Amino acid sequence: MNEHRKELFTRLVTAGVVAPFVVACFVNYYSLIGLVATVLLFATYEYTKFTLKNDGHQVLKLGIVAIVTITSISYGLLLYKLYPLKDNFRMPELIFALSLITSLTMIIVVVKDTTKAKRMMTNSIFSIFYIGLNLSFFYPIFINFGASIALLNLTSVWVFDAGAYFFGLSFGKIRISPAYSPKKSLEGAIGGYLSVVFFMFIYEFFRQLFTTDAIVIKPSHFFLLAMVVAVFGTIGDIVESAIKRYHDVKDSGNILPGHGGMLDRIDGLLFVTPMFYIFLVLLNT
């Protein structure tokens, strides 16, 4: 078995083991919170590990990871408790502002080196919003549009990644971002987009048969939502590649054999999820 086939086999085995468990977590809102919290725990740990690898203060780094994770859990619970919001003063999103203040306060109390403190503050702010807030948009999608639509958001990114990978491998010639992600091609992105459109038609057909979620996605909207997945999934991947190149790392971690780290696996999802929610709101107002 050559190296490429071995890598593909490993990726498929990992996906076959992990994917059913992940999908099962969409059975109710609380299991979704548990899933998001677990993913955030690993992704934020990876991020702080390679961005602050030479700065010491291991306990403080773990504190930042804990803050991001607890913030997302608290946001999910508050959002569910306060929904539907009755006034502008009941804003569960303020938990992220509290998280920001808490993490920065911890850093300036513990770290005396101003250069290290600045790096830690910058990366803690980034992890709270880039990873924590963006992934937490699964909660309003679930609450406002149902479990099946939240799952559509996730699986569409999976389908796009798979379609882009295979189409890019077979036909890729035009490089989208040679400076940051040399393997990413326009042909792969187009193939991924078409794969998502096809997947959405099939998904919606079975969703209408087996779920009770009231929302109906018009067929014409599939093309727009698939474009959201393709465009922002690609941008999210390139952004994470740029961060890793700056810090001179190939993968964010190795928790998922064949896929790299948790952050590698959710890089596109971090940009797609908030944009998916925004477009769902726009399309249903």
The amino acid that residue 95 corresponds to is I
Question: What's the pLDDT score for residue 68?
Answer: 96
Residue of 52, 76, 75 lying closest to 64 (CA atoms): 52
Question: What's the pLDDT score for residue 41?
Answer: 96
pLDDT at 222 over 80: yes
pLDDT at 123 over 90: yes
**Would you say 82 and 90 are in contact if contact means Cβ atoms under 8 Å apart?**
yes
Contacts of 285 (CB under 8 A, 6+ apart): none
Return the structure tokens found at 121. 């503050």
Indicate the DSSP class of residue 26: G
- 5-55 pLDDT, tens digit per residue, is 776 777 778 778 888 999 999 999 999 999 999 999 999 999 999 998 888
- 76-111 pLDDT, tens digit per residue, is 999 988 776 555 456 788 899 999 999 999 999 999
**Would you say 161 and 195 are in contact if contact means Cβ atoms under 8 Å apart?**
no
pLDDT at 226 over 80: yes
Question: Domain tally for the chain?
Answer: 1
On average, the pLDDT of the chain sits at 90
State pTM to two decimals: 0.92
Return the structure tokens found at 137. 């948009």
pLDDT at 214 over 90: no
Which of these ranges, 17-21, 133-137, 195-199, 257-261, has the smallest mean pLDDT? 257-261
- 59-77 pLDDT, tens digit per residue, is 999 999 999 999 999 999 9
Q: Which domain holds residue 58?
A: 3-283
pLDDT at 136 over 80: yes
Question: What's the pLDDT score for residue 230?
Answer: 97
